[in-house]
Amino acid sequence: MQPFEPEETRCYIQHQLSVAGISFSVQFTVESTGKIHDLSGGIPRMINVLCERAMMSAFIEGSRKIGVHNVVEGWESLNRTRTLGGRVL
């Protein structure tokens, strides 16, 4: 399987939210899906992990809108986990 293109990443995120039944309660901005694509390289597993971390960041803020800053916080939390020797992937 080839990595997704940016538009495919956005559609994949929307599909995953729909399958989970939360597509109307959580909103990723266009900018945040672009950042997710850039950081994940379009790899579905990394997209999933990064989205989960970004949603957790937004949840902690009490927000249902996931912005670029939430994606960056999610990415940083992944890097902290790796630094501590945890296995993420």
Domain that holds residue 32: 6-83
Per the structure, the count of domains in the chain is 1
pTM for the structure as a whole:
0.86
Lowest mean pLDDT among 2-6, 20-24, 82-86: 82-86
pLDDT in tens, 10-66: 999 999 999 999 988 999 999 999 999 999 999 999 999 999 999 999 999 999 999
Task: Compute the distance between CA of residue 48 and CA of residue 33 in angstroms, rounded to an integer.
Answer: 12
DSSP string, 19-46: HTT-TTT-EE-HHHHHHHHHHHTT-HHH
Residue 63's SS3 state is: coil
Domain presence at residue 61: yes
CATH number, domain with residue 75: 1.10.8.60
Are 42 and 5 in contact, with CB atoms under 8 Å apart?
Answer: yes
pLDDT at 75 over 70: yes
Crossing angle between the packed helical segments 44-61 and 68-83, to the nearest 10 degrees: 110
